[in-house]
Structure 1
Amino acid sequence: MDRANHPQHGGNRRYWAERYGFHESEMVDLSTGINPHGWSVPAIPAEVWQRLPESDTDLLKIAADYYGTETLLPVAGSQAAIQTLPRLRTFSRVAVLDPSYSEHMRGWELAGHEVLKIGSDQIESLLPGLDVLVLVNPNNPTGELFSREELLRWHQQLADRGGWLVVDEAFMDATPEHSLCMLDRPRTGLIILRSLGKFFGLAGIRSGFVFATPIFLERMERLLGPWSLSHPAQWATKQVLCDHSWQSEMRDRLVVESGRLSELLRSAGLSPEGGSSLFQWLTTPQAAAITNSLAEQGVLIRLFKESSSIRFGLPGSANEWERLESALSGAELLRDVA
């Protein structure tokens, strides 16, 4: 398989470790934006592994309490929804924020739609000619946060002519007060995606939710088919969404650690231009060279080639903080950036 022909994402630590001559365990992976202090999943009862997943009213009630709405559909992570949504529309003109999560653009292109890459400053002018607008909020990797008021205004303009606003809130759990999930009612043409991968640090269970009108969710459920969310994923999702004390403590902790990361980068001559509680982001003409230099020292970050930008996730231990600081100090080219 030629990796050059596939979209690049964070992770793939084994591949990058081999490329740079490290054992996988020696690499500090800061490339994903996943919470390094993820919720610790307790032992899962044996029967959960042995039974097919069923419709679980407790899961729906717990999720409705956490997200603030009952119009939801459990899915195998937001990726399942991203791949399914384009199949629910006839040919459309779709705008996707750039830079952003590349799978959104890929999904709509593979389904045969016309896809435009746009910057956030182009939304207002291009909106009248669009059928679908896809945003990540807060955006990955820039951290740009769109207000509820402007999102609803854009949605209304699209919905008036049968269009959609798709909002991917994968990084919203650290700032739930900005979510669109807690609107007074579901709205036709507004689709919101959530995932347990980032804030909860549970990317491996592939669990998430789609929020939309009941009619739309019925269409999506029929296309997804049975057993879209595994029984272990359902079980773990119920436990973590009920752990309110962990959620509150983690939100406070991530704010502190994200600030620490920002200061560390600034001290190395790299000034973040955006970010969230889980990552820091900046543009630089030397983005590729910095990424390579850090990887040669066993520290993996996320490179965005087209925008010449880099994203740093949070280190997960004292040793990883030290490794990052050392790698930044050891990168000769950073002296020219400062």
Structure 2
Amino acid sequence: MEMEEKVTPNWTAAAQNQSLVTEFILVGLSNDPEMQLVLFVVFLVLYTLTLAGNFLIVVTIVHDQALHTPMYFFLSNLSFIDICHSTVTVPKMLADFLSAEKTISFGGCVAQMFFLHLFACTEIFLLTVMAYDRYVAICNPMHYLTVMSHKVCLLLAGTIWLGGTVHSLALIGMTIKLPYCGPQEVDNFFCDVPPVIKLACTDTYIIEVLIISNSGLISVVCFVVLVVSYGVILVSLRNRFAEGRRKALSTCAAHLTVVTLFLGHCIFIYSRPSTSFKEDKVVSVFFTAVTPLLNPIIYTLRNEDMKRALNKMVGRKVDSEKK
């Protein structure tokens, strides 16, 4: 018994005696070379469409004076965040599809986690602000431009970016303090806090609780606030004229679709201990590659003002080319 106690070291001792991990191996979505080529093509198309669609929304809003309103100011911010959000993970995933070694340095992994949570948390706060903007516009239209003045919009935008930065720094600060001495395989196609802390050579129970208290609580609280806000909006629409009610309902439906797709992932991943489920990768694909593409589709195809502005901009470009 004494010999066994001497031979079997604990995790702390292992962390001290073994060399620290300098890189991680990303398991990815598939090990089949043919399937990886198919996935490369699929995600390359999705990423290209994501960049083109969101960039087009930003350019259209900046170009058209009629869209210089609080709602479209926040929508342009959403498109910019979606471009950044997908760029954090998708290019690395595309490169790994064509590479035999799917490795990422420790510093690269930390950077990926930081920017992933920065953009994700900022988008959560932005969606909440957008719900507040629609609440004021529909429930208090006479004072809308006063309440949502340009100065207030800039202040709200700065606040949500600051909040996302603080959230991300808090998570990364907890994660990088943990000792990593092996194994090195991250069970996903990108670095995220839950699968990475599972590789730590120490007990991570307290860190997991803090992650749930941080990311999970933010996701759940914002989701509840959003649902309640849109519930109040729907109740207030009962006495509106049919045309105004239809337009408001269309806008709210688009917002709710984005909220459900985006916050659904956050609640599923970050509101539970870091236990792996087979559905995690599928949910992560929607979170990082599909949802950023759906946003421009949802907000353009369902929005008459955006379609009008796009047609106007394309028409001007055609006319200038003819001249």
Task: Please say whether Structure 1 and Structure 2 have the same fold, judged by a TM-score greater than 0.5.
Answer: no
- TM-score, with structure 2 as normaliser: 0.23
Q: Return the structure number with greater helix share.
A: 2
- TM-score, with structure 1 as normaliser: 0.22
Larger radius of gyration: 2
Higher relative contact order (CA 8 A, sep 6+): 2
